[in-house]
Structure 1
Amino acid sequence: MVFAPAAETAARLAALDDYAGFSVRPGDGWVALATAEADGRLDHWLELLIAEHGGRNVAGSTLGSALAAAVVGPTVGSLLLDRRCPDPALSNLTALPAGNGEFDARGVRTGVIAVLTGDPAAAHPDSVALPDENALDDWWASRAAATLTPLFEAVRTRAPFGLRNLWGLAADDVTATALWLAELAGRDQQAAWSRAQRLLDALARHVPVRFPRSRQFPAGDRLHQVRGTCCLYYRSTSEPGSPAENRCDTCPLRDDDSRRTRLLAYGP
C-alpha cells in the first residue's frame, strides 16, 4: 500500500515515540484549533488549568505551551526527521484534549505537506514542492506565526502571561523538539541545535514580538537546553514542596549546579 507523504512521516515519527508522531485526518474526539476560541473551548481549558494549578498566570502559560506544542511538535519533528513539513495553517491543525486543559495528541486535518523538490514525494498531489531548505523554513515560519499569533492573543486576553513569554515558550519548544528528536533518532544533537536556530531565525522574521531563546547546556553525553522563558510551573499548587525544588531542570531560574546534577541523574 502506498501512503501519502504526511502519513509516511507521521508513521516514522511515531515509530520513534508515540508522542513524536501526529495523526492525519483524525476522527471523533479531536478539536479543530481554528474554532477553539469561538466555541468556548479555550475558556473551558483555561478554567480547568486554573483549577489544577491555582492561578491564572501559570494556567495561561500552560495553555500557551499546549497550543504551541500542537503547532511545533508535528512540524518541527517532521522537518528534523524527513525535511518535510505538514501544513501548520490554523485551519489544518487539530488536537485531542486530555481532559485537564492540555492535549494527549496532535494532528492535521489534511495531508498537505511541504517537501523539497528532490524528495521522492515531490510529485504527490498533497505535496508543496519548494526549491531549498531556506524556502522550506520560511514556509513553515510564516504559516506557524500566522497560526500562533491569534491563539496567543486569545490566551493573553484571558490570562496575564505576556505575549513575549508566550512566543518564548514556542521558541523553547522548537529547540526542545529538535534535541529530543535527534536523541530518539540517534542523530547529532549539535546539528539538530543548529537546525533549530535556523528555524527560529526564520520564525523571528514573522512574529510580532522579539522572543527570548534558550542556551545550550551539555550534561554528560547529552545536549540539553536552558529555556529562555520560565513556564511558571514551579508556582503550581498541584506540586508539593518548595518553589525552588519544583523548578524544571531546564528552567532559567534554576542554578546550573543543581541542573547538572539532576540531568546527570537520569543516566543513559
Structure 2
Amino acid sequence: MPDTRSIRPGAVDLLGGTYRRLAARCPSLRAELTTAQGPGDTPGRDWAAMAGLEHHRDRLIAGEAARILAGHDRAPREHVAASRLLHHYLWTVCLLVSGPWYLERRVPRIRPEDLWIDPADGGLALRPGAFACLPDDPAAGLPGARVLAGEDELRAELRAAVADHVTPVLAAFQGPLKRGPRALWGMVTDDLVSGIWYLGRMLGEEEAAVAAATALLPGDTPPFPGAAAFRTLPGTEGRQHLTRTRLGCCLYYAVRPAESCLTCPRTGDAERVRRLELPVP
C-alpha cells in the first residue's frame, strides 16, 4: 500500500473541502457534491445533466410548476415557472462560484458536464473541478490550480466564470421566459450579488460582503448590465439598513401576490423598513 502521507492533494480535493465549508454556512444552498463521472453517470436515478439542458428544459420547468402548485395551491403560467426555476438555478450556481472566492479567494470553473439537477426538487449536484487562485494561496502549486496576479484579476475571473457557465443556460430559457438578453443578464447580476450578500449575513459580516460585491460589480462590467448598487435606508430609532433594488423581477409576486421580494422594484422603501424591523420569530 502506498504511503498516502507523501501524496499531495490536488486542487480538486481542496475545492471539495471549500464547498463543504460553504454548505455548512449557507443552509439555503441546495447543492451537494458528487463523484458521478459524466453525462452517462448521474448522482441519482432521474437527475438531469446540465450538459444536455436542451433535452431536459421542458421537464425541469414542469417540475418547478408542480412544486409551485403543491406549495402555494396556485398553478403558474409557464413563464412564471421558468422564471422561478432559472432564478433558483442562477442563485445557486453564482454562489457555488462566488462562495469559494469570498471564503478562500478561489474561483472555480463549473462546466456543464460537472453539474446535474434533480427534476423532483430542483436541487443541484456538483463535481468539483479546477480553480483559479492568488500566488500566496497554499494550493497555488497544485495540479488544477491556475494562479492569477492579484485581486482585480481574480474578480475578472469570477465574472468570466459565471458568464461562461450561464450563457447557454440563458439561451435555453429565453423562449419560455419571454424576456430579452438584458433582462436575463439582469437576473444573473441580481443573483450573483444576492448570493454574496447572503453569505456575508450568514457569517455575521454583512458590510464586508457588501463591499466585496460592490468591488466585484461596480458597473460597466459587461455582460452584467448593472452594478451591485447597495444603499442605506434610515430606519426607526437611528437604525440603518443595507438594501438594493433588483435590476429585474424574479416573478415571486406571481406566486405569492401579497409578498413581493424585499429588493423587488415593486417594494417601496417604507415597506422595506417595516419588514426589516419586524421582530424575529
Scaled by the length of structure 2, what TM-score is found? 0.78
Give distance in 1, aligned partners of 2:147 and 2:29. 24
SS at match of 1:229: coil
Matching residue's letter, 1:229: G
Amino acid at match of 1:195: A
Instruction: Give the conservation status (yes or no) of the 8 Å contact 2:30–2:123.
Output: no
Query: CA separation in 1, counterparts of 2:219 and 2:136?
Result: 22
1:181 is matched with: 199
Which of these two proteins has the greater Rg computed from alpha carbons? Answer: 2
* Rounded Cα–Cα distance in structure 2 between residues aligned with 1:72 and 1:13: 13
177, 196, 214: which one pairs with 2:213?
196
Tell me the secondary structure at the aligned position of residue 265 of structure 1: coil
- Provide the rounded CA distance (Å) in 2 between the counterparts of 1:203 and 1:113: 25
1:45 to 60, 63, 66: 60
1:32 Cα deviation from its structure 2 partner: 2.8
Distance 1:118 1:47 in 2: 47
In the other structure, the counterpart of 2:251 is 232
What displacement does 1:214 show? 5.1
Residue in 2 that maps onto 1:216: 231
User: What corresponds to 1:256 in structure 2?
Assistant: 269
In 1: Cα distance, 2:107 partner to 2:137 partner: 12
Pairing partner for 1:149 from 167, 180, 184: 167
Contact 1:217 1:224 (8 Å CA) reproduced: yes
Cα distance in 1, alignment partners of residues 266 and 171 from structure 2: 26
Q: Which residue of 1 aligns with 2:86?
A: 64
For 2:22, the equivalent position in structure 1 comes to: 13
Indicate if the aligned counterparts of 1:86 and 1:111 stay in contact, CA closer than 8 A.
yes
Question: Which residue identity lines up with residue 268 of structure 2 in the other structure?
Answer: D
2:118 corresponds in structure 1 to 97
Which of residues 168, 175, 182 in structure 2 aligns to 1:164? 182
Q: Would the aligned equivalents of 2:182 and 2:225 in 1 still touch at CA under 8 Å?
A: yes
Q: What secondary structure sits across from 2:129 in the alignment? A: coil
- Check whether the contact 1:117–1:130 (CA below 8 A) recurs between aligned residues: yes
Which ranges of structure 1 fall in alignment gaps of 5 or more residues?
Answer: none
Which of 137, 142, 152 is equivalent to 1:119? 137
Once the two structures are superposed, what CA deviation does each residue of 1:13-36 show, in whole Å capped at 9, x if it has no partner? 122134448544444224431212
Q: Secondary structure of 2:177's partner?
A: coil
Distance of 1:203 and 1:152 partners within structure 2: 20
Aligned residues: 253
Are 2:230 and 2:242, in contact at CA under 8 Å, matched by a contact in 1? no
Give per-residue Cα distances to partners, 1:82-138, cap 9 Å, x unaligned. 11112133343x1442515xx22452x243121111001111112111111111122
2:96 aligns to what? Answer: 74
Q: For 1:36, what is the secondary structure of its paired residue?
A: helix
Structure 2: tracts of 5 or more residues without a match? 37-42, 69-74
Letter of the 2:245 partner, please give it.
V
The amino acid across from 1:89 in the alignment is R
